[in-house]
Amino acid sequence: MKGDATHERAGWREIVALPEFGIARLRAKIDTGARTSALHASDLENFERDGQPWVRFRLICEDGVNRLCEAPRVARRMITSSNGESQERLIVKTTLSMGTQVFRAEFSLADRSDMLFPMLVGRTALRRRFLVDSAKSFLLPEPVCTKETP
């Protein structure tokens, strides 16, 4: 693939950060089979801010930390999960820090309580940034959270 030298190499699981939500360290599954990234969220509440649709939700981390977050609502989409079931999910966009890269990514908000990782990073977020080595884990340097934890 042309230009591969500029891509960082990621393993099938990595440590990432969500600076806008004050999350400095979160384990994520890197999944090239999933188009959309997903976050483990509960208590979703739609509201408006300055006439724009927003969503408030509780982000649930594997260490038991639950953080109340707010983000502009980008869309509602039908997402097909790994078990083949489709469901409508809210989509938000936020900053993702992965390795040395910091970029905006879309996430569906879902109940991932039966999954091992609270976050799944899908191929849309990975595209043109990372090459995934499915035999390795934690290849990227841990991200630096660029926003103070609230």
Distance CA 134, CA 3 (A): 20
Q: Give the start-to-end residue ranges of the domains of the chain.
A: 13-127
Q: Is 28 exposed, middle or buried (0-12, 13-18, 19+ CB in 10 A)?
A: buried
Mean pLDDT of 86-103: 95
Q: For the chain, give the percent of residues with pLDDT over 70.
A: 92
pTM for this model (two decimals): 0.89
Q: Which residues, in sequence order, are CB contacts of 5 under 8 Å at separation 6+?
A: none
The answer on pLDDT for 139 being more than 60 is yes
How distant, in Å, are the alpha carbons of 5, 31, 61 from that of 97? 20, 16, 16
pLDDT in tens, 46-91: 999 999 999 999 998 877 778 999 999 999 999 987 778 899 999 9
Give the pLDDT score at 71.
96
Distance CA 107, CA 104 (A): 10
Measured torsion, CA atoms of residues 126, 132, 136, 138, in degrees rounded to the nearest 10: -30
Give the pLDDT score at 96.
96
The answer on pLDDT for 114 being more than 90 is no
Give the pLDDT score at 1.
46
Give the pLDDT score at 149.
41
Taking Cα atoms as reference points, which of 126, 45, 51 lies closest to residue 90? 45
Distance CA 146, CA 80 (A): 33
Mean pLDDT of 117-142: 96
The CATH class given to the 13-127 domain equals: mainly beta
Mean pLDDT of 105-119: 93
Instruction: Please give the mean pLDDT across all residues of the chain.
Output: 90
